[in-house]
Amino acid sequence: MTRKFVRFLMSAALALPAVAQTAPAPSAPLPAAPSAATSSAAAAPMATNATGTKLGTINLEQAIFASNEGQRDFEQLSKKLEPKQTELKGMNDEVESLKKQLSTQGDKLNDDARGTLVKQIEEKQKKLERNVQDARDDAQNQQSEIGQRILQKMGPLIVKYAADNGFGIIIDTSNPWPQGPVLWAGPSVDITRAIVDTYNAQSGVPAPAKPAAAKPAAPVTKPATTPATAAPKAPGSPK
For residues 58-63, average pLDDT:
96
For residues 60-72, average pLDDT:
96
Rounded distance between C-alpha atoms, residue 166 and residue 169, angstroms: 9
For residues 209-236, average pLDDT:
53
Cis, bond preceding 227 (omega within 30 deg of 0): no
pLDDT for the residue numbered 6: 36
**CA angle 199–203–205, rounded 5-degree value:** 110
Percent of the chain with pLDDT over 70: 67
Residue 106's pLDDT band (cuts 50, 70, 90): confident
| 3-state secondary structure at position 113 | helix
Tens digits of per-residue pLDDT, 172-214? 999 999 988 898 999 999 999 999 999 999 999 999 887 666 5
